[in-house]
């Protein structure tokens, strides 16, 4: 055996991932470091609780775009690795960090929720050894989360929210030279672009309004020159009738759905526009009275595009209807 410093002839040579690359297996050598992440074969792994994955990437002095895919399934519960199966009915609110900085937050609701996170790393954020870390932390953890956020979500989100969450894929690539984006996106596309997170992408091809069943959603810092990255944003909030399968059994027994439809339409027309109770920056705390304007049963919420910290938007009660995000408009 010969050695040169700490290395020996028996040490395996670790080949870094060379962008552009899609990493979707925990068996790849590029996944160098794991903390409370059980490696998978067809996914990168599954978190036992809040944890970390570290990747060796050959950045060669370039900026990198990082895209992270997270999801939940029937095993996404606290203590899943010890055989527990009981799932909390509450949504999960998760921080995603890289190189020690908070990048975005995701809200995951239900057993089959998917979320995408996207952010750019500058060359000076990538060390010479090419180690890039991606962390997933419950919203109650970490030094930078303000107490106002923890108080606002207490009893509204699941405890140990990262437990059992799947790390499906991480993509490393160079940022494109130019990104083109429209000035207006519907609610579903706002989530696809990772501007907002309201429960997860059940169907990446879905378009139209985004139902806000959790009574809250997150507005995230987004990629440079992408929708929501500059100027102010106007989010249009509306209401939607509850689905037939969700209404009480007494209504399901009526002889005609037409009777229910007339009843629901009447209630929707009489219902007030949704209201926003609070807007809280995860890092900076309560932002004061939210700027909102009511037009009929539509509320227009005006926000500054978040640059460094996600914003948590808390909605007021919405009797007889479900609040929705109809669309978002960026004012450049």
Predicted confidence at residue 255, as pLDDT, reads: 52
Predicted confidence at residue 298, as pLDDT, reads: 95
Residue with the two structure tokens 């995230």: 220
- Could you read off the pLDDT of 295-317 as tens digits, one per residue? 988 999 999 989 889 999 999 99
Query: What is each CA distance from 274 to 109, 119, 172, 318, 327, in whole angstroms?
Result: 21, 31, 39, 6, 14
What is the full DSSP assignment across 45-69? EEEEEEEEEEEEB--TT--EEEEEE
- As given in the structure block, the two tokens for residue 236 are 């249009």
Predicted confidence at residue 178, as pLDDT, reads: 73
Predicted confidence at residue 233, as pLDDT, reads: 95
Considering only CA atoms, which of 266, 268, 289, 285 is closest in space to residue 277?
A: 289
Kindly give the residue spans of alpha helices, DSSP state H, lying in 55-153.
Answer: 147-153
Predicted confidence at residue 270, as pLDDT, reads: 47
Q: Considering all CA atoms of the chain, what is the largest pairwise distance in Å, rounded to the nearest integer?
A: 85
Distance separating alpha carbons of residues 89 and 39, to the nearest angstrom: 26
Per-residue pLDDT of the chain (332 residues; tens, 9 = 90+): 333 345 455 556 778 999 999 999 999 999 999 999 999 999 999 999 999 999 999 999 999 999 999 999 999 999 999 888 888 999 999 999 999 999 999 999 999 999 999 999 999 999 999 999 999 999 999 989 999 999 999 999 999 999 999 999 999 999 987 766 788 999 999 999 999 999 998 676 788 999 999 999 999 999 988 888 878 999 999 998 765 555 555 555 555 565 555 545 545 444 578 999 999 999 999 999 899 999 988 999 999 989 889 999 999 998 878 999 999 999 87
Predicted confidence at residue 4, as pLDDT, reads: 38
The answer to whether the beta carbons of residues 137 and 160 sit under 8 Å apart is no
């Amino acid at each position: 055996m010969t050695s040169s410093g700490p290395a020996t002839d028996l040490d395996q040579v670790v080949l870094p991932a060379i962008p552009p690359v899609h990493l979707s297996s925990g068996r790849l050598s590029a996944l160098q470091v794991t903390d409370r992440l059980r490696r998978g074969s067809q996914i990168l792994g599954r978190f036992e609780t809040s944890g970390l994955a570290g990747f060796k990437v050959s950045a060669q002095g370039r900026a990198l775009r990082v895209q992270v895919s997270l999801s939940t399934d029937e095993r996404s519960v606290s203590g899943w690795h010890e055989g527990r199966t009981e799932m909390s009915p509450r949504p999960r609110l998760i921080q995603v960090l890289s190189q020690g900085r908070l990048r975005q937050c995701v809200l995951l609701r239900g057993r089959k929720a998917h979320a995408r996170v996207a952010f750019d790393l500058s060359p000076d954020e990538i060390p010479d050894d090419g180690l890039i870390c991606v962390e997933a932390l419950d919203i109650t953890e970490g030094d930078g989360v303000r107490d106002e956020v923890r108080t606002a979500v207490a009893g509204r989100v699941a405890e140990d929210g990262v437990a059992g969450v799947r790390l499906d894929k991480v993509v490393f690539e160079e940022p494109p030279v130019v990104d083109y984006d429209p000035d207006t996106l519907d609610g579903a596309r706002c989530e696809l672009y990772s501007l907002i997170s309201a429960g997860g992408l059940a169907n990446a091809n879905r378009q139209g309004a985004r139902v806000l069943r959790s009574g809250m959603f997150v507005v995230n810092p987004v990629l440079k020159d992408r929708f929501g990255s500059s100027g102010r944003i106007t989010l249009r909030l509306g209401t939607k009738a509850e689905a037939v399968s969700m209404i009480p059994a007494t209504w399901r027994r009526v002889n005609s759905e037409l009777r229910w439809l007339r009843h629901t339409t009447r209630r929707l027309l009489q219902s007030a526009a949704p209201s926003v109770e609070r807007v809280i920056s995860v890092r900076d705390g309560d932002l004061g009275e939210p700027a909102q304007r009511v037009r009929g049963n539509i509320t227009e919420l005006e926000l500054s595009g978040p640059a460094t910290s996600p914003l948590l938007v808390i909605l007021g009660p919405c009797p007889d209807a479900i609040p929705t995000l109809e669309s978002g408009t960026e004012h450049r």
